[in-house]
Amino acid sequence: MEIYELTTDVLIVGGGLAGTNAAIAAAEKGAKVVVVDKGKIERSGDIGGGVDHFLAYLNTDPEWDTKEAFLRYVEKVGKGTGYSEIIESVYCAELGDAIDRMARIGNPLAQPDGTFYRTRSMGQPGTYWINFNGKRLKPCLGKAVRKLGCKVLDKVMMLSLFTRDGAVVGGIGFHIRSGHFFVIHAKATIVSTGNTNRLYENPRINPFNTWLCPFDTGDGQVMAFRAGAALSNMEYMRMTLLPKGFAAPGFNALTGMGGRFVNTLGEYYMEKKHPMGNRAPRYDVVFYTLEEIRSGRGPIYMDCRHLADQDLVHLKATLGYDKDTLPDYLEQRGEDLRQRPVEITVSEGMQAGPTEVTGSGIKIDRDSAATIPGLYACGDAADHNRCV
Ligand SMILES: Cc1cc2nc3c(=O)[nH]c(=O)nc-3n(C[C@H](O)[C@H](O)[C@H](O)COP(=O)(O)OP(=O)(O)OC[C@H]3O[C@@H](n4cnc5c(N)ncnc54)[C@H](O)[C@@H]3O)c2cc1C
C-alpha cells in the first residue's frame, strides 16, 4: 500500500453531475482541479445511465416562462423548505451557462432541429421540463473534465476532510481496488457526493434498476458534518411513484406527456382531488395515490391510451434515455401503452430533499459555501435541489 500526496486549488469530492460541472467551471477559470470519485466519472452518479428532463424557464412569451414566475413556482411547491436566494443563484443565474455548457460538451438540450421539446408535470405552471436525450451526458462531461486537464482519481473513495484552524484544507481517501491512500491538500474543497438514498437497501427487492446511484451513501454529508459544517433539511423523507415491480421512478415522462392516474374502479382520482390533476406536485400525487390504495380502490394505474400517436411514438423512443431497462420491463410484461393502463405503485421512502424543488444536506449560501471556511457543496449533497 502506497500513500500519495497531492496539492491542488480545488478538490472535488464526487464526480457525478454536479461535481463534473463544478470541475469544468473551475478549470475553465484556470484553477488546478482534482476530482475524486468512487466510480469512474464517465458513468458514475445518478445519471450514469442517462437523463431525460432538464428543469428550466426560457424567457419565451408566456408569463409563466420568466424567472419571476419560476421562483414563485419553487416557493409554492417548496412550501417554505427552500432558500429563494440560493434557488435564484443555482437555477437562474447559472441557467444560461448550464445550457450553453451542455451544447459545448456535445450533449445539447435542443432537438436536432434546434427547438426545445418541453413538457409539464409536478405542479409546474407551464412546460418547465426540457425533454432531451441525455443518454451520453455523463460520458460527455467526463471527457470534457479530462480534456481540461483536471486530475481525475477514479475508484477512490474519500473518507474524511481535514481541517486547519477550523477551515477545510483537503481530504483523504483510498483506491478501492489497490488500497493506496491519497492525501489531497486543497485551497477549496467541494463536496458533491449526491444524496443519501443508498443508505438503505432497496426494501422492495425489485428487479431491474434500483432507485438512485449505489455509491450515494451519504459519505459527503457525514464528512462535512464531522468537519464542523451544518446540515439542514435532513429530517425529510420523500416517496415517488413507480411502475409496479420496477425499482426506479418511471412516471414523470408519462405524466409530462399527459398520462392519467386511474384507480381500479376506473376513476381518474387526481382530476377530482387536485386542481392541477395528474400534473400536481409529486407529494400530492403520492398522498392521493396512497389514499386510494388505503381506501381499497387499488391497484392504481397510469393510463396513456388517449395520447396522440406522435406523443406515444415520442414516449416509446425516449423512455429508455434515463432508464435503460424501462422499455425492456414494459416489453417483457407485455405492456402496451396504447392498449392498456400500466400498474403503478408508491416507492419506498427515502431521505432526500423535502420536495422536488428543494434539497437537503450540507447547508450552503448563494455562493455554494458551507458554514465553515474552505468548504463548498453542490448538487444533491447540498441543501438546495438538483442541478439538472
Ligand atoms: C434514474 C434517475 C433519473 C433521473 N432523471 C432526472 C431528470 O430527468 N431530471 C432531473 O432534473 N433530475 C433527474 N434525476 C435526479 C438527478 O439525476 C440528480 O438530482 C442529480 O444527478 C444529482 O447530481 P449529483 O452530482 O448531486 O449526484 P450524483 O450524480 O449521484 O453524483 C454523486 C457522485 O458522488 C460519488 N461519491 C459518493 N460518495 C463518494 C465518496 N465517499 N468518495 C468519492 N466519491 C463519492 C458517486 O460515485 C457519484 O458519482 C434522476 C435521478 C435518477 C436516479
Q: Which ligand 1 atom is nearest residue 381's CA? A: 26
* Cα–ligand 1 centroid distance for 38 (angstroms): 12
Sort strands 231-232 and 361-362 into parallel, antiparallel or unpaired: antiparallel
Q: Give pLDDT, residue 248.
A: 73
Q: Would the CB of 158 count as within 6 Å of ligand 1?
A: yes
CA 274 to centroid of ligand 1, rounded, Å: 31
Look at ligand 1, atom 35, and give the residue with the nearest C-alpha.
Answer: 14
Whole-number Å distance, alpha carbon 59 to ligand 1 midpoint, is 28
Decide whether any atom of ligand 1 lies within 6 Å of the 383 Cβ: no
Protein residue with its CA nearest to atom 23 in ligand 1: 17
Measured from the CA of 159, which atom of ligand 1 is nearest? 41
Q: Is 175 exposed, middle or buried (0-12, 13-18, 19+ CB in 10 A)?
A: middle
Of residues 146, 148, 162, the one with CA closest to residue 5: 162
CA of 210 to the centre of ligand 1 (A): 13
| Ligand 1 contact via 154 beta carbon (within 6 Å) | no
Question: Does residue 198 carry a pLDDT above 90?
Answer: no
Which DSSP state fits 380? G
Q: Is the CB of 322 under 6 A from ligand 1?
A: yes
Q: How confident is the model at residue 387 (pLDDT cuts 50, 70, 90)?
A: very low
Shortest-distance Cα residue to atom 19 of ligand 1 = 386
Please state, rounded to an integer, the average pLDDT across all residues of the chain.
Answer: 91
Task: Give start and end residues of each alpha helix (H) in 202-324.
Answer: 219-227, 252-257, 269-273, 282-294, 309-318
Answer whether residue 203 shows pLDDT above 60: no
CB 77 within 8 A of CB 357: yes
Ligand 1: which residue has its CA nearest to atom 51?
46
Is the C-beta atom of 364 inside 6 A of ligand 1?
no
Establish whether residue 46 lines the binding site of ligand 1, counting it when its CB lies within 6 angstroms of any ligand atom.
yes
327 C-alpha vs ligand 1 centroid, how far in Å? 22
Of residues 286 and 384, more confidence is placed in: 286
For residue 212, what pLDDT band results from cuts at 50, 70 and 90? confident
Assign domain 240-347 to its CATH architecture. Alpha-Beta Complex (3.90)
Question: How far, in Å, is the centroid of ligand 1 from the Cα of 378?
Answer: 11
State mean pLDDT over 349-366: 86
**pLDDT over threshold 50, residue 243:** yes
- 193 CB less than 6 Å from ligand 1? yes
**Residues 171 and 160: beta-carbon distance below 8 Å:** yes
| Alpha helices in the chain, H assignment, sequence order | 17-28, 67-78, 84-87, 95-104, 137-147, 219-227, 252-257, 269-273, 282-294, 309-318, 325-332
Q: Do domains 3-52+60-106+137-196+355-381 and 240-347 have the same CATH topology?
A: no
Cβ–ligand 1 contact at 216 (below 6 Å):
yes
Q: What is the pLDDT at residue 237?
A: 83
- Report the alpha-carbon distance of residue 377 to residue 164 in Å, rounded: 19
281 lines ligand 1 (CB under 6 A): no
Residue 210 pLDDT grade (very low, low, confident, very high; cuts 50, 70, 90): low
Burial of 321 (0-12, 13-18, 19+ CB in 10 A): buried
Report the nearest-CA residue for atom 7 of ligand 1: 53
By DSSP bridging, strand 241-243 and strand 342-346 are: antiparallel
* pLDDT tens, position by position, 47-96: 998 999 999 999 998 999 999 999 999 999 998 888 888 889 888 999 99
Domain boundaries, the chain: 3-52+60-106+137-196+355-381, 240-347
With a 6 Å cutoff on the Cβ, whether 354 touches ligand 1 is no
Residue 125: asked if its preceding bond is cis (omega within 30°), the reply is: no
Indicate which atom in ligand 1 lies nearest the CA of residue 193.
34
CATH T-level fold of 3-52+60-106+137-196+355-381: FAD/NAD(P)-binding domain (3.50.50)
11 lines ligand 1 (CB under 6 A): no
* Cβ(359) – ligand 1 distance below 6 Å: no
Of the pLDDT bands very low, low, confident and very high (cuts 50, 70, 90), residue 388 is very low
CB distance 383 to 363 below 8 Å: yes
Q: Is the pLDDT of residue 142 over 50?
A: yes
pLDDT at 205 over 90: no
Ligand 1 pocket, 39 CB below 6 A? yes
